[in-house]
Each structure stands twice: as structure tokens, then as C-alpha cells.
Amino acid sequence: MRNSLLVTSDLNSVVLVDTLQDGQRLAITKRGALLSVLGSDICASEVPSTLEKFVNDAIGNTKAFYEFDAADSMKNQLCITYNDGNNTVFIIGITDIVIGFSGPTEVPQSKVKTYAVKMKSSPSTGLISPNIILVKLEMAGSKKMIKFYYLHS
């Protein structure tokens, strides 16, 4: 999913996400990465080994609210974007898409799954979000899945 573009929440700009820039990448293998909000900005951090037990206890028996098949990056696209105006993280997964060179093609709704997670009730409510999303790459049998867990502190 290299070279993705995200549209900014003010709808005036696009941001290139280049996954070859190591300094900007967060590993979702092993322990995963946590997404939260500080003020009105999204922030993310890899789960350090010192917090692994705490995060695993927080997950407990909680089931992932969304699972995305990471097997075929040529036909699948996953986007996580944040709208600071309403403190909401949007997770958009598109699967099994094969597009030709025939011009713009509408993606059928059956191929798109979108989740919205409200991080705070409003931008001015407190400094930090009480809600956290854990993004983690896990094996489910022989399938490699990116799983999203909703954690409320």
C-alpha cells in the first residue's frame, strides 16, 4: 500500500504517505501500534515491550471490530485517516478489486468496508482521548490479518 494519498480534513490538500520512509513507519507486527488523540491531533506509537502485558490485558477477550486480509496488496487497499474537526478515525478497507485502464471506475459498495471511531466527544473535550485503537498484524490460521481493536481507557 505504498504511495497512498490522504485528503486533509479541510479538503484543501493531499498528503503523500510513502512507506519507504522508515522514520515515519510504525510496525504493526508483534505488539501492534496504538492510535489516539492528543488535543486535536492524531498520534500513534508502537507498543513497547514494557506495555505488552498491559495492552494484552486491556484487550482481554475483546474481539477485533474489523479484520482486513493482508495477503494480496495488489487487489486490496486499506486506509486509516483522521478528521480533526470531529475527532473521528475512519478505517476504509477495499478488497478484491481489479481495475482496468478504462478510466474512472466506481468501486461496488460490497467491496468497501468503512468504520468510524469517535475518539473524543468534541475537539475541545479534554486534552487526551479516552479511546484508543490498537492496530495489529496477526495470523488467523494460515491467513495474515490486520486487526483493529477498540480500547476504552
Check: CB of residue 18 under 8 Å from CB of residue 2: yes
* Residue tagged 498484524 (cell numbers): 137
Can you list the alpha helix ranges (DSSP code H) found in the chain?
52-59
The amino acid that residue 22 corresponds to is D
Q: Look at residue 21 in the predicted model and tell me its pLDDT.
A: 63
Q: Is the pLDDT of residue 150 over 50?
A: yes
Mean pLDDT computed over every residue of the chain: 86
Which is more confident, 76 or 8?
76
Each residue's pLDDT tens digit, 13-39: 788 776 666 667 788 988 999 999 998
Strand partners, 36: 43
Percent of the chain whose predicted confidence (pLDDT) is above 70 = 92
Predicted TM-score (pTM) of the model is 0.86
Check: CB of residue 1 under 8 Å from CB of residue 73: yes
Q: Look at residue 74 in the predicted model and tell me its pLDDT.
A: 77
- What whole-number distance in Å separates Cα of residue 28 and Cα of residue 38? 21
